[in-house]
């Protein structure tokens, strides 16, 4: 179905159009928020909230940008708010942090190799300012112009943030591999890699 027609129906309050939008974007949005927060349950919750906002604010969407950018912008803002809230919580008291805040993902134990775990930890250590553009670029495959529209920043800023984010990620990974434990070797030795 033509996306533009779908959006017009959505803006008219058509629930079947909304259900179609949810069907199209749900996996991408859940995955996007999961990559930002590292928490599957929270990602599902924030994705649902994203679609609720899409439904109630559909009339605010102007077709000057792709619809997907608009949906991603809502998801990105919600994820950013969640990350800020977590940071505030961590600043108040590390001891009071609930252990569930860390990570909960289906079959995480089974799927996470050491390298992937290190990669995820490095990503989670990255400031959301850099993490969001890096995930949008390198995992969701958006162009810099589209990312600029999603996070509402100039293209130059986006370029700089992606570059800095990648560098920070690289440094974090190198530190993990060479500093703490040579994961590749260890994994090869364990037969997991």
Partner 1 sequence: MDDIKLLGRLDRVTAPPDFDRRVLARVAERRATAAQTRRATVFRFSLAGATAALLVGFVVLNVFVLRPSVSDDRAGAGLAAGLFDQAREVPVMETVNYGREIRSASREPGAVYILEQVSNTSNIPIKY
Find out whether 46 and 78 touch, Cβ atoms under 8 Å.
yes
Find out whether 168 and 123 touch, Cβ atoms under 8 Å.
no
CA angle 112, 40, 91 (to 5 degrees): 100
Region binding partner 1 by CB under 8 A among candidate stretches 59-67, 78-86, 142-150, 171-179: 171-179
Q: Which residues of 3-20 are buried (b: 16+ CB within 10 A; e: fewer)?
A: eeebbebbeeeeeebbeb
Site string for partner 1, 130-149 (x = CB under 8 A): ----xx--xx----------
Q: How far is the CB of 30 from partner 1 (least distance, A)?
A: 4
CA angle 10, 13, 19 (to 5 degrees): 55
Asked if 126 is part of the footprint of partner 1 (rule: CB under 8 A), the reply reads: no
Residue 89 vs 182, nearer CB to partner 1:
182
Binding site for partner 1 (CB under 8 A): 15, 18-19, 22-23, 26-27, 29-31, 34-35, 40, 43-44, 47-49, 51-52, 55-56, 105-106, 111-112, 115-116, 119-120, 123, 134-135, 138-139, 166, 169-170, 173-174, 177
């Amino acid at each position: 179905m033509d996306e533009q027609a779908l959006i017009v129906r959505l803006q008219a309050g058509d629930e079947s159009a909304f259900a179609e939008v949810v069907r199209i974007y749900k996996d991408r949005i859940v995955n996007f928020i999961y990559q930002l927060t590292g928490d599957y349950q929270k990602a599902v919750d924030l994705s649902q909230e994203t679609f609720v906002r899409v439904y109630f604010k559909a009339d605010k969407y102007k077709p000057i940008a792709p619809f997907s950018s608009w949906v991603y912008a809502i998801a990105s803002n919600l994820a950013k708010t969640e990350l800020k809230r977590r940071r505030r919580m961590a600043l108040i008291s590390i001891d009071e942090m609930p252990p569930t805040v860390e990570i909960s993902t289906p079959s995480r134990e089974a799927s996470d190799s050491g390298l992937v775990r290190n990669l995820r930890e490095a990503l989670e250590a990255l400031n959301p300012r850099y993490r969001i553009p890096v995930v949008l670029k390198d995992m969701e495959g958006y162009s810099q112009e589209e990312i600029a529209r999603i996070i509402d920043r100039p293209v130059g800023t986006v370029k700089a943030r992606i570059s800095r984010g990648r560098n920070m990620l690289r440094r974090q990974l190198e530190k993990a591999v060479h500093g703490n434990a040579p994961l590749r070797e260890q994994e090869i030795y364990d037969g997991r890699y």
